[in-house]
C-alpha cells in the first residue's frame, strides 16, 4: 500500500464526486443502471484529471530540479580558507 499523496487526493475527490450519484440512487431519482453509467463517467473523468495533474506536477518538479542543478553547477564551492579570511576581515 504505497499510494502517494497525489493518488490519495484524487481518490478522495472521486469519492466525493460520487456522493450525488449515491444520493440520487438512494432517493430513487435514478435507476441502478443510470447510477452505474453516471458512476462510470465520474470515474473516468477523475482518472483522466488525476493523470493530467500528475503529469503537470511531475513536469514542474523536474523543472525545479533542473534549475537547482544548474545553480549548483554555477556556484563554485568556496574553500575554508576564503571563509576564514572573510570572517577575520569582517571582525577586524
Centroid of chain to Cα 78: 36
The pLDDT assigned to 40 comes to 96
Say which residue the cell 431519482 belongs to. 29
What mean pLDDT is predicted for residues 21-42? 94
Contact 19, 42 (CB under 8 A): no
Say which residue the cell 577575520 belongs to. 88
Interval 42-84: pLDDT, tens: 999 999 999 999 999 999 999 999 888 888 766 655 556 555 5
Q: Find the farthest-apart pair of alpha carbons in the chain and give their distance in angstroms, rounded.
A: 85
Say which residue the cell 502517494 belongs to. 4
d(CA 22, CA 35): 7
Amino acid at each position: 500500500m504505497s499510494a502517494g499523496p497525489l493518488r490519495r487526493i484524487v481518490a478522495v475527490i472521486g469519492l466525493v464526486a460520487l456522493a450525488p450519484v449515491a444520493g440520487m440512487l438512494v432517493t430513487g431519482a435514478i435507476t441502478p443502471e443510470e447510477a452505474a453509467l453516471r458512476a462510470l463517467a465520474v470515474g473516468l473523468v477523475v482518472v483522466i484529471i488525476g493523470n493530467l495533474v500528475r503529469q503537470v506536477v511531475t513536469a514542474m518538479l523536474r523543472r525545479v530540479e533542473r534549475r537547482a542543478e544548474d545553480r549548483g553547477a554555477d556556484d563554485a564551492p568556496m574553500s575554508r580558507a576564503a571563509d576564514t579570511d572573510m570572517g577575520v576581515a569582517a571582525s577586524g
